[in-house]
Amino acid sequence: MTSRTKTAAGVISAVAAVAALTGVATAATAQAATGCAVTYTTNDWPGGFTASITIQNLGDAINGWTLGFTFPDSGQRVETGWSATFSQSGRNVTAANVDYNAVIATGASVSIGFNGSWSGSNPKPASFTLNGVTCTGSATTSSPTPTASPTGSPSPSPTPTHSPSPSPTPTGGKPTVAADGTGVYRTVQEAIDAVPSGNSSRRVITIKPGTYREIVTIPATKPYITLQGLGSSPRDVVIVNNHYAGGNGGTFNSATAFVNGHDSVLTNLTISNDYVEDGTTVNQQAVALNLNADRAVLTNVRLLGDQDTFLINDSARAYVKSSYIEGTVDFIFGGGTAVLDDCDIYEKRSTGAPITAARTDAAKTYGFLIYKSRITGATANTTQLGRPWGPNAQVLYRESSLSSTIKTSQPWTDMSGNSWQNARFFEYKNTGPGAGTNSNRPQLSDSQAANYTPQKYLAGSDGWNPIG
């Protein structure tokens, strides 16, 4: 990474428009629904499955919801969920809203899901209840035939081990964006442009599978926008461009996507910068996602690039769940605060390089938390956990699996006159062949670790808790 100069940085979906998002966890009072429909779709493999659930409210608007259902077989278990808080007692399962999707307007929908395990067979629930009311609306419960195990391959672009499936393409309505002309708009940016400035409710822009070669910007004046891919995996919807720093006004201006509106959500899609480093061009940084948005949530997203893939700016707080990030040098970087939870992070350069380059302000307690994630790379003993772009950089790798790609004797390194030893770099209870302890690997104690949880990283002054 060379030095950088910082620059200033509608459509209502046919599926869903979740209103009045506040971004702050509140004690909303649940109201009874008078009707609902549920779409429950699974993708099965031996011993496991992914379930995606779309809940449509056919009755009065509700502010706070709980979905209930019962597994027909006692061998079925919910393992990890997203966009809801799941609990299970015996065969009975409940899923409760998280703060950003608590409201479901009349006729609107929310999409949630989970990874599960099963033994014997995997039949589907026969009925669902929303706030205690049985859902009687029509629902599709098709289950595609599995073709492969969900475990990803390590090279060149491994699929995340835990990769939730999205909600299916809605029945009876157009996607918001479709490159083939079957949607309301042909480009993602056209759909964003159609959202009014200053909107105060969730606007879900659904994107049909395809490749969208464009530069996408969600302005700061347009909060509460969701970009939702409608494919069977995040590989099916690709937003891509090939700008690089040397030809486009510096690193910060090279991004494929600029997400500036607070409470933005990205789900089930890929953002890529496919500029190829040629070994001769100066300023080869080529950002995939430039994130300025506070309270941003990324779920089941792939971020692809070489140098400087994912920029998390000072103003951003981001929760990144069950996603995949790859790059070569400093490919997770910036002065913002981010939790990467259950993610796959891949160093693809054969000679290795630092993964993170944090520039955390001294006044900030929290920078980057890599939590219960998996770190892999192209070669063994070549990859470093990070280096300090700023002298007070803060990075913690916590309870993650570190493969043999990590340079175990010296996993942190200096940068631009900033000593890694003076930065706030830590590990805690990591596992795998790349884990270990020595004088170059500062570890948190159990008592210290209690103050470095995902919730504490993200809470800020407003108590934000996207985790549920």
Active site residues: 308, 330
| Cα-based distances in Å from 440 to 145, 408, 411, 437, 444 | 49, 9, 7, 8, 13
* Beta carbons within 8 Å of 182's beta carbon, 6+ residues apart: 174, 175, 208
Distance of CA 417 to the CA centre of its chain: 33
Beta bridge partners of 361: none
Joined tokens for residue 323: 């996603």
Token pair listed for 169: 């393409």
Strands 216-218 and 310-312: unpaired
Cβ neighbours, 10 Å, residue 383: 27
Write out the two tokens for 343: 């993610």
* First-last CA distance in the chain: 36
Nearest to 235 by CA among 174, 166, 286, 178: 166
Q: Cα 121 to the chain's mean position, in Å?
A: 31
Q: Classify burial at 314, counting beta carbons within 10 Å of its beta carbon; exposed 0-12, middle 13-18, buried 19 or more.
A: middle
As given in the structure block, the two tokens for residue 207 are: 């994107």
Query: In the numeric block, which tokens belong to residue 316?
Result: 């951003």
